[in-house]
């Protein structure tokens, strides 16, 4: 038997109803905050992620699905392509490529699959889905303002509330600007020098190439050493400190609770200033339901104009795992199952079904070859509210036998009144 590749999975009904419920709710929330949808390609040139996310991050160094294009055209040959491991770099590339600032498009959202070659476990997959949003634009549009950071965080609290997730924790930090980080990296290098020999090989490499990434280390034995390292907040300059204080004071004003986590640096290199994660207890080891932050230099790093930005991505798989609502509670069962009874009745049933569906009723059908018992079993199995018998006598009389499958009550309803009867709860 051919199975789906490691780390991928089929999303089946009724679970897909939960996914649709989540996506419909977040689209409503995005609309209220004036975000518009963007869809970027699922693969991009590898260079985009190397430059955008950072060569030394786990994502780029170990987790990307990358291949060399074997296209026929000379221009395709040898081009390195990668399945997107995240969507921020793609959105910023599109922002630059289409000069989106000219169109005043600075609040964008996306919903779609991402790919990382990680070790699969509960809540961690190789193909997973993100619901994300980015606010990006010229300084003149206020995109560097702490008000945007607070708006994004308040949107997230609203969004989680809307889908019924309550027990979240917002962890907040500021990772400063590049100059702060250069000073911090130097201090980290010095602090790591006497102890790095006792750390894992990844950390030994990171200590030389990009010491900040030491904070991404998950090796339990390294954690006591990481606990003793300096933290970024000691190195923030005045402007970054003021920015961070302002984000927190707006959050206080709109009553969004948060905890400060000085060791939160996020696993992507593009972050500046505000960095955050929302965690949820029910998720176990992979407890980050979403992450995000500010990336004021990303557009320039990708060859674009100055365009400060901030955004987030929710792990949709993890969001669905933390829902208390069940798939059964959001799935819409058939209002009526039509049982055509006897030769020629498929045609009549098709006509009745067409009439009823015009009224936004959920209708399913059997087949004229089915015995009544088989139709009842099929209607029961799909959880239909009513069964409607369409036989020769009913068609001739212009009225049909309609049976409520829960109560067992049966009535005869004239054809013209059927839809109204079924729309009544």
Instruction: Report the interface residues with ligand HAM, using CB under 6 A.
Output: 86-88, 116, 118, 123-125, 128, 130, 132, 134, 267-268, 288-293, 295, 311-313, 315, 317-318
The answer to whether 32 touches 162, Cβ cutoff 8 Å, is no
- Residue with Cβ nearer ligand HAM (289 or 352): 289
Taking Cα atoms as reference points, which of 12, 282, 333 lies closest to residue 164? 282
Q: State both tokens at 153.
A: 């965080």
Q: Closest approach of Cβ 79 to ligand HAM, in Å? A: 23
Taking Cα atoms as reference points, which of 408, 407, 406, 411 lies closest to residue 389? 411
Q: Closest approach of Cβ 123 to ligand HAM, in Å? A: 6
Q: State both tokens at 7.
A: 């780390």
Q: Closest approach of Cβ 92 to ligand HAM, in Å? A: 9
- Residue with Cβ nearer ligand HAM (124 or 241): 124
Q: Closest approach of Cβ 238 to ligand HAM, in Å? A: 25
- Residue with Cβ nearer ligand HAM (170 or 388): 170
Q: Closest approach of Cβ 405 to ligand HAM, in Å? A: 40
Using Cβ positions, the residue closest to ligand HAM within the complex turns out to be: 315
Q: Closest approach of Cβ 278 to ligand HAM, in Å? A: 8
What string of DSSP letters covers 340-383? EESTTHHHHHHHHHHHHHTTT--EEE--TTS-HHHHHHHHHHTT
Query: Residues near 59 by Cβ (< 8 Å), separated by ≥ 6?
Result: 49, 53, 85, 86, 116, 267, 268
- Residue with Cβ nearer ligand HAM (317 or 394): 317
Element of type H or E holding 80: strand 80-83
- Residue with Cβ nearer ligand HAM (125 or 400): 125
Strand-pair category, 80-83 with 66-68: antiparallel
Taking Cα atoms as reference points, which of 242, 247, 273 lies closest to residue 258? 247
Q: State both tokens at 131.
A: 């619901």
Q: Closest approach of Cβ 108 to ligand HAM, in Å? A: 10
């Amino acid at each position: 038997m051919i199975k789906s590749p490691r780390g991928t999975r089929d999303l089946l009904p009724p679970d897909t109803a939960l996914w649709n419920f989540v996506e419909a709710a977040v689209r409503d929330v995005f609309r209220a905050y004036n975000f518009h949808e963007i869809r970027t390609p699922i693969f991009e040139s590898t260079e985009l992620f190397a430059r955008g996310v950072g060569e030394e991050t786990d994502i780029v160094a170990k987790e990307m699905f990358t291949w060399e294009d074997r296209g026929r055209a000379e221009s395709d040959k040898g081009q390195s392509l990668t399945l997107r491991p995240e969507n921020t770099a793609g959105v910023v590339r599109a922002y630059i490529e289409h000069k989106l600032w000219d169109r005043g498009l600075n609040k964008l959202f996306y919903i779609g699959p991402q790919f990382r070659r990680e070790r699969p476990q509960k809540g961690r997959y190789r193909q997973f889905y993100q619901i994300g949003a980015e606010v990006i634009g010229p300084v003149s549009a206020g995109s560097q303002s702490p008000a945007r950071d607070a708006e994004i965080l308040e949107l997230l609290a609203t969004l989680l509330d809307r889908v019924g997730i309550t027990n979240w924790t917002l962890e907040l930090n500021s990772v400063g600007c590049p100059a702060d980080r250069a000073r911090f990296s130097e201090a980290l290098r010095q602090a790591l020098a006497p102890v790095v020999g006792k750390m894992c090989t990844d950390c030994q490499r990171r200590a030389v190439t990009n010491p900040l990434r030491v904070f991404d280390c998950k090796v339990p034995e390294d954690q006591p050493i990481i606990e003793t390292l300096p933290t970024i907040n000691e190195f923030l300059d005045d402007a970054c400190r003021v920015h961070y204080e302002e984000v927190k004071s707006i959050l206080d004003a709109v009553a969004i609770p948060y905890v400060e986590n000085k060791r939160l640096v996020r696993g992507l290199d593009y972050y500046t200033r505000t960095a955050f994660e929302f965690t949820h207890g029910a998720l176990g080891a992979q407890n980050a339901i979403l992450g995000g932050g500010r990336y004021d230099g990303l557009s320039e790093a990708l060859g674009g104009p100055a365009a400060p930005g901030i955004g987030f991505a929710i792990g949709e798989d993890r969001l669905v795992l933390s829902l208390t609502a069940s798939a059964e509670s959001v799935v819409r069962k058939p209002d009526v199952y039509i049982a055509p009874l006897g030769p020629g009745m498929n045609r009549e049933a098709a006509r009745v079904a067409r009439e009823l569906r015009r009224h936004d009723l959920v209708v399913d059908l059997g087949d004229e070859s089915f015995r009544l018992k088989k139709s009842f079993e099929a209607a029961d199995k799909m959880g239909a509210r009513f069964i409607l018998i369409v036989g020769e006598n009913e068609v001739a009389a212009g009225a049909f036998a309609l049976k409520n499958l829960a109560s067992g009550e049966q009535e005869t309803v004239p054809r013209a009144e059927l839809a109204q009867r079924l729309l009544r709860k």
